Amino acid sequence: MWLNLERNWLGYEVQSVSLKGKVVAIVRPPDQVKELSDVIESLGGTPYEAPLIEVTPAKDQEFLIRLIKDTVSGRMDFIAFMSQNGVRQTFEVAKSEGLEKSFKDHLRKINLISIGPKTKLELEKIGFSNVKLPEEYSSHGLIRLLEKTDLKGKRIGLPRAKGVDDTLRVAFERLGAEVFEAEAYEVQKTSDTSLVKKLIRDLINRKIDVIAFTSPSTVRSLIENSRKFSDLEKVKTSLQKIVIASIGTTTRKVLEELGFEVQVTPSEFTVEALAKEIASYFEKEDKIKKNLGLDKLDSKILEALQFDFPLVEDPWEHIAEKIGVDSQNLLSRIKRMIELGIIRKIGGFPNLKKIGFTASTLIGVKVPQDKLEEITNIINGLNSVSHNYLREHQYNLWFTITVKDNEEIQKIIESVRNIGISDEDILNLPVVKSFKTDVRFTL
Nearer to other proteins, 143 or 337 (CB): 337
DSSP secondary structure, 214-269, as one string: -SHHHHHHHHHHHHHHS-HHHHHHHHHTSEEEESSHHHHHHHHHTTPPP-B--SS-
DSSP 150: -
- Helices 62-72 and 100-109, interaxial angle, to 10°? 60
User: What is the C-alpha R_g of the chain?
Assistant: 30
Find residue 54's DSSP bridge partners: 188
Nearer to other proteins, 59 or 311 (CB): 311
**Which residues are CB-neighbours of 301 under 8 A, at least 6 positions away?**
319, 323, 325, 330, 333, 334, 337
| Total residues belonging to the chain | 443
Residue 297 in the binding site for other proteins (CB under 8 A)? no
Is the Cα dihedral 4, 7, 12, 17 positive or negative? positive
Residue 174 in the binding site for other proteins (CB under 8 A)? no
Residue 357 in the binding site for other proteins (CB under 8 A)? yes
- Helices 62-72 and 84-96, interaxial angle, to 10°? 80
Of positions 5, 126, 170, 258, contacts other proteins by CB under 8 A: 5
Nearer to other proteins, 99 or 403 (CB): 403
Report the nearest approach of other proteins to the CB of residue 265 (Å).
14
Residue 441 in the binding site for other proteins (CB under 8 A)? yes
Residue 351 in the binding site for other proteins (CB under 8 A)? yes
Nearer to other proteins, 191 or 389 (CB): 389
DSSP 355: G
Q: Are 272 and 39 in contact (CB under 8 A)?
A: yes
- The H or E element containing residue 149 is none
Nearer to other proteins, 130 or 240 (CB): 240
Provide the residue type at 369 as one letter.
Q
Q: Is 45 left (phi over 0), alpha (psi -120 to 50) or beta?
A: beta
Residue 135 in the binding site for other proteins (CB under 8 A)? no
Closest CA to 241 of 290, 185, 307: 307
Q: Which stretch binds other proteins (CB under 8 A): 6-14, 16-24, 207-215, 268-276?
A: 6-14
Residue 302 in the binding site for other proteins (CB under 8 A)? yes
**Which residues are CB-neighbours of 158 under 8 A, at least 6 positions away?**
79, 80, 82, 168, 169, 179, 180, 181, 182
Of positions 15, 345, 369, 370, contacts other proteins by CB under 8 A: 345
Q: Which stretch binds other proteins (CB under 8 A): 48-56, 81-89, 187-195, 285-293?
A: 285-293
Residue 435 in the binding site for other proteins (CB under 8 A)? yes
Report the nearest approach of other proteins to the CB of residue 438 (Å).
6
Report the nearest approach of other proteins to the CB of residue 343 (Å).
5
Q: Which stretch binds other proteins (CB under 8 A): 15-23, 30-38, 150-158, 311-319?
A: 311-319
Nearer to other proteins, 84 or 384 (CB): 384
The residues in 9-28 that bind other proteins, with binding defined as CB under 8 A, are 9-11
Residue 148 in the binding site for other proteins (CB under 8 A)? no
Q: Which stretch binds other proteins (CB under 8 A): 21-29, 69-77, 117-125, 424-432?
A: 424-432
Residue 340 in the binding site for other proteins (CB under 8 A)? yes
Residue 338 in the binding site for other proteins (CB under 8 A)? yes
Nearer to other proteins, 2 or 105 (CB): 2
Report the nearest approach of other proteins to the CB of residue 235 (Å).
18
Report the nearest approach of other proteins to the CB of residue 110 (Å).
42
Nearer to other proteins, 194 or 351 (CB): 351
Q: How many CA atoms lie within 13 A of 268 on its CB side?
A: 12
Closest CA to 415 of 375, 361, 388: 375
Residue 354 in the binding site for other proteins (CB under 8 A)? yes
Of positions 305, 371, 408, 417, contacts other proteins by CB under 8 A: 305
Nearer to other proteins, 199 or 304 (CB): 304
Residue 312 in the binding site for other proteins (CB under 8 A)? yes
The residues in 358-397 that bind other proteins, with binding defined as CB under 8 A, are 361-362, 364, 376, 379-380, 383-393, 395-397
**Which residues are CB-neighbours of 285 under 8 A, at least 6 positions away?**
3, 443
Q: Are 85 and 183 in contact (CB under 8 A)?
A: no
Of positions 291, 369, 418, 422, contacts other proteins by CB under 8 A: 291
Residue 427 in the binding site for other proteins (CB under 8 A)? yes
The number of residues that bind other proteins (CB under 8 A) is 85
**Which residues are CB-neighbours of 83 under 8 A, at least 6 positions away?**
115, 119, 160, 161
